[in-house]
């Protein structure tokens, strides 16, 4: 299931999304003492991150992580971890806790098992996730071109995190699986630009999830996907 929230500008979208997410996080803290947030990389969320970082949230009780990460050095311009530190873990949000997906030099089975264990204890289910979408219909690092896509979209996958090796994009990736992402209490899909809206329309109007993995979320009958979009 999905519903739209359409905005005339990216600025108005960023303001509304930051207000909504900060409210959810603060309520989660009041209800259970902590809140968890998983965000996406790329250029689209930068404005949203800046606004969210200044919201009145009890940030020391928030754990922030990424829905996926490229296995690159955290100082690399291609690192989502660097992006989050530069734009979100600032201002009032500088006291938030960050859960690193990129741990160590090599993405081994041992590292993955350790991360999965930590996620189950500290993050699952996530209170809020912010997804993006590529022009091929991928979201997180659930790439249609990867050999791991069937496993990644398997609803019965018990692993929170999986290794993805896309054929049409650089770098090995670590990504949350669909099974874990769909358990999140609040799921937002953040899109800007006419091209992305055209891709979204194609995703909605056709059915093959292996061709466009974002469809797996949009077609889920039990979870509401809140689409925040602007031209």
* Model confidence at 139: pLDDT above 90: yes
CATH of domain 2-223: 3.40.50.1360
Q: What is the C-alpha separation between 72 and 79, in angstroms, rounded?
A: 6
Polymer length in residues for the chain: 231
Q: What residues contact residue 8 under an 8 Å CB cut-off, 6+ apart?
A: 230, 231
Q: Report the mean per-residue pLDDT for the chain.
A: 97
User: 186: helix, coil or strand?
Assistant: strand
Residue 93 near residue 61, CB atoms below 8 Å: no
* Model confidence at 104: pLDDT above 90: no
Query: Between vectors from CA 175 to CA 31 and to CA 121, what angle results, nearest 5°?
Result: 40
Task: State the average pLDDT over residues 118-123.
Answer: 95
Exposure of 91 by Cβ count < 10 A (0-12 exposed, 13-18 middle, 19+ buried)? middle
153-207 pLDDT tens trace:
999 999 999 999 999 999 999 999 999 999 999 999 999 999 999 999 999 999 9
Residue 153 near residue 190, CB atoms below 8 Å: no
Residue 67 near residue 26, CB atoms below 8 Å: no
Q: How confident is the model at residue 105 (pLDDT cuts 50, 70, 90)?
A: confident
For CA atoms 216, 220, 223, 226, the dihedral sign is positive
| pLDDT at position 27 | 98
Q: What is the pTM of this model?
A: 0.96
Task: State the average pLDDT over residues 106-130.
Answer: 94
Token digits for 165? 């090796």
Token digits for 135? 């022009």
């Amino acid at each position: 299931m999905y519903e739209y929230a359409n905005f005339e500008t990216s600025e108005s979208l960023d303001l509304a999304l930051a207000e909504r997410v900060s409210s959810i996080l603060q309520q989660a803290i009041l209800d259970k003492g902590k809140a968890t947030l998983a965000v996406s990389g790329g250029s689209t969320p930068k404005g949203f991150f800046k606004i969210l970082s200044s919201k009145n949230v009890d940030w020391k009780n928030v754990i922030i992580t990424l829905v996926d990460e490229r296995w690159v050095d955290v100082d690399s311009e291609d690192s989502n971890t660097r992006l989050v530190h530069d734009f979100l873990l600032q201002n009032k949000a500088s006291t938030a806790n960050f859960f690193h997906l990129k741990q160590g030099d090599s993405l081994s089975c041992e590292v993955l098992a350790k991360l999965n264990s930590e996620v189950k204890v500290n993050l699952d289910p996530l209170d809020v996730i912010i997804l993006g979408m590529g022009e091929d219909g991928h979201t997180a690092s659930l790439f249609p071109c990867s050999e791991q896509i069937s496993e990644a979209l398997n609803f019965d996958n018990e692993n929170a995190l999986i290794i993805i090796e896309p054929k049409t994009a650089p770098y090995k990736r670590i990504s949350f699986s669909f099974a874990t992402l769909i358990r999140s209490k609040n799921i937002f899909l953040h899109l800007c630009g006419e091209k992305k809206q055209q891709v979204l329309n194609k995703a909605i109007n056709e059915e093959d999830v292996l061709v466009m993995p974002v469809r797996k979320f949009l077609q889920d009958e039990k979870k509401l996907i809140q689409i925040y979009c602007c031209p």
